[in-house]
Amino acid sequence: MASPSKLRIDDVSMTFATPGGPFRALDHVTMEIPAGRFVSLIGPSGCGKSTIFNIAAGLQEPTAGRVLIDGIDATGTIGRVGYMLQKDLLLPWRTLVDNIILGMEIQGVPLRQARETALPLLRRYGLAGFERAYPSALSGGMRQRAALLRTLLFDTDVILLDEPFGALDAQTKLQMQEWLLALWSDFGKTVIFVTHDVEEAIFLSDEVHVMGTRPGRIVETLDVALPRPRLRACTTTPAFTALKERCLELLRLDQAAVGQAA
């Protein structure tokens, strides 16, 4: 915690006007994320996870509060963080390599140079032989890999991953988690990861923020003090199980509170 914070979500609140009155999507959320950390957000649907991401990426202005990157106010500015949405959003008319360089291309990197940067990465990270393929020819797992590489190649220190593996089958999901950890240790990015899957959150992260609904807020932050590099076997250790129990309990409590309110 001694390292300076890379990304700071500073007392952010977000209220949407709805026909049924104002809806508080986020209520005084503060997060401090040091450089190089892997942090997960977990919580039930409607707890504002995606709203946090939209605000951090500058796609929405918060009702109150600020987003600080390296201590500089970045509220409402786009292009500061890499953002991978739930869908892979690969452009069907572009080849894989041309999809992956999209971020660089938009930032004005010459095409040839961008492709030269992208090609070795494609090969190293499991997409060899598909450089010139169109997205329609790829499996779900490969499409997600491509989308993630596109986010990495955009070359920002912070990347936001919004349920990237949510739509994958269980087997592919496990492979992708290990692949992501390898990538993370290679690139040294600061990662914020949204998921519904408690085990996924703990396995990947240094820190898990458990969120609650109505209003969306952070209920508790759990430190994951498991050693790295992590192997799949660590998911059966008592420490892991205890963290998982605690997470599930927090989520259950929130659901119970919602049930009472309704």
Judged by the rule CB under 8 A, the positions of this chain that interact with other proteins are: 54, 57-59, 78-83, 85, 87, 89, 91-93, 95, 102-103, 105-107, 134, 154
CB of 245 to other proteins, least distance (A): 35
Q: How far is the CB of 261 from other proteins (least distance, A)?
A: 31
Which is closer to other proteins, CB of 105 or CB of 178? 105
- Among residues 90, 91, 71, 67, the alpha carbon closest in space to that of 10 is found at 67
Nearer to other proteins, 64 or 111 (CB): 111
Least separation, in Å, of the C-beta of 90 and other proteins? 10
Query: Whole-number minimum distance, CB 120 to other proteins, in Å?
Result: 21
Taking a C-beta distance cutoff of 8 angstroms, is the pair 35, 204 a contact? no
CB of 78 to other proteins, least distance (A): 5
Taking the C-alpha atoms of residue 70 and residue 55, their distance in angstroms, rounded to an integer, is 16
Q: What is the DSSP string of 66-131?
A: EEEETTEE-TT-SSSSEEE-SS----TTS-HHHHHTHHHHHTT--HHHHHHHHHHHHIIIIITT-T
Handedness of CA 104, 108, 111, 114 (dihedral sign): negative
Kindly tell me which of 80 and 145 has the beta carbon lying closer to other proteins. Answer: 80
Instruction: Indicate the residue among 78 and 257 with the shorter CB distance to other proteins.
Output: 78
What angle do helix axes 111-122 and 140-153 make, rounded to 10 degrees?
Answer: 130
Q: Is 244 helix (H, G, I), strand (E, B) or coil?
A: helix
Q: How far is the CB of 242 from other proteins (least distance, A)?
A: 36
Nearer to other proteins, 78 or 231 (CB): 78
Q: Which is nearer to other proteins, 91 or 242 (CB)?
A: 91
Q: Which is nearer to other proteins, 125 or 134 (CB)?
A: 134
Closest CB 210 distance from other proteins, rounded Å: 26
List Cα–Cα distances, 2 to 35, 151, 221, 224, in angstroms.
Answer: 11, 28, 17, 17
CA-nearest of 38, 120, 125, 45 to 86 is 45
Residue 261 buriedness (CB in 10 A; 0-12 / 13-18 / 19+): exposed
Q: Beta strand 82-84 with 72-73: parallel, antiparallel or unpaired?
A: unpaired
